[in-house]
Structure 1
Amino acid sequence: MTTNLFLNSATYQLITGQAIDIATLLKFLQTTYQERSPHPQDYRHLQSTVDRYFSAQTPLWFVTTSSRKIACLWLGIAIDQVTGIRHPNIFLVYVDPAYRRQGIGRALMEYAQVWAKAQGYTQIGLQVFTNNQPAIDLYQQLGYQPRSISMMREM
C-alpha cells in the first residue's frame, strides 16, 4: 500500500513495510537508541527484539523520498495494565535528522491514530526516552499523557 503525504510543499510516499525491510528497521532502531540512550552501549539486543516482535501483527510503515527511506513507524500490541484492554503500542517513530521539524513525525503519529481507530481500538500507547523533549512535546500536543513512569537503577 502506498499513500502520499503532502507536507510543507513536499510530497513523500508512505509505504507498508515488509520482511525485506527488517535491516532498515533495525538501522533506524539502532540510530534512535544511539541518539537518545543515556548510556551509549552495544545495541545488538535490538536484533533479537526485531526477530521476536516483527510480524504481520506489528504493522510497519516507511516514509520515502524518490530515492530512500527517511522515516518509519512500527506498531505492536500491548495490554493496558490497569484495564486489561489490548491496544496498539508505538514501538518506533523515527525520522532521519535531515528531515526533522517538517511535520513527518506528526504525520506518522496521526496515521497511527487513524489506523488504530479504523482497527477498532480505543486507545494507543507509547514509551519515550525522558531526554527526548522534542518527542515528548509532540506527543503531548497530540493528546498523549503520562500514565506511569518506568524507573531503573544501575547496579
Structure 2
Amino acid sequence: MHAAVDALAAALHEYVGTAVGVRAEFGAAEADEDPRVLALEAAIGALNAGLYDALHDSLGMHPDLSSLVWGAEEDLGTGADADAPPAPEVAEPFYLGFVVGPGRTPDTSLDAVIDFLDNAGEQVVAALVESGFDVPEWAASRGEAADFDGYGDADDEAQGGAL
C-alpha cells in the first residue's frame, strides 16, 4: 500500500513541476491541453486506481479517492482550535498606478480617465473572481490610491491609514 502511495506522490510532484513549467512557457489554456500534462493526468489516474486496488485487496475497503471537496476545515472534520489567536487578515490591497497627461485633442479631458479606469476595474474584478479570488472591495481613484479600511500593513495603520 505504501509503495502505491509513494508512486502516486511522485507522479503528483512530477505533475506540479511539469504543469508549472508548461504554464509559464505557454499559458493556462495551452497547459490544459499539453500532451505532457495530459499524459501525467492519465498516469495519476492509473496510479490512483492502483492505490484503490491495494487498499481494497489488503483491507477490504472501498475508498473514495477521486472526489473533489472544497470547504472550510471545520466542514472537513478537522475542527478549529478555540484557544488559537485569531487568524491574520488574508486580504490585502494591490495597486496599479497611471500618470496620465492631457489629451492631444480638445474633446479629451482628464475627467474621462476615471471612466476608463472604472470600466477596466470591472473587467479585472470579473477576471479575479473567475480565477477563484475573493475581491471584497475595489475602487478607481484620482490623485492617490484608494484607502481600504481594514486592509494593509500595520505600519500604514499607525500613520493614520496614509498609503
Q: Normalization by structure 1: what TM-score?
A: 0.27
Higher strand share: 1
Please identify the structure whose Cα radius of gyration is greater. Answer: 2
Structure with the greater relative contact order (CA < 8 A, sep ≥ 6): 1 or 2? 1
**Which structure carries more helix by proportion?**
2
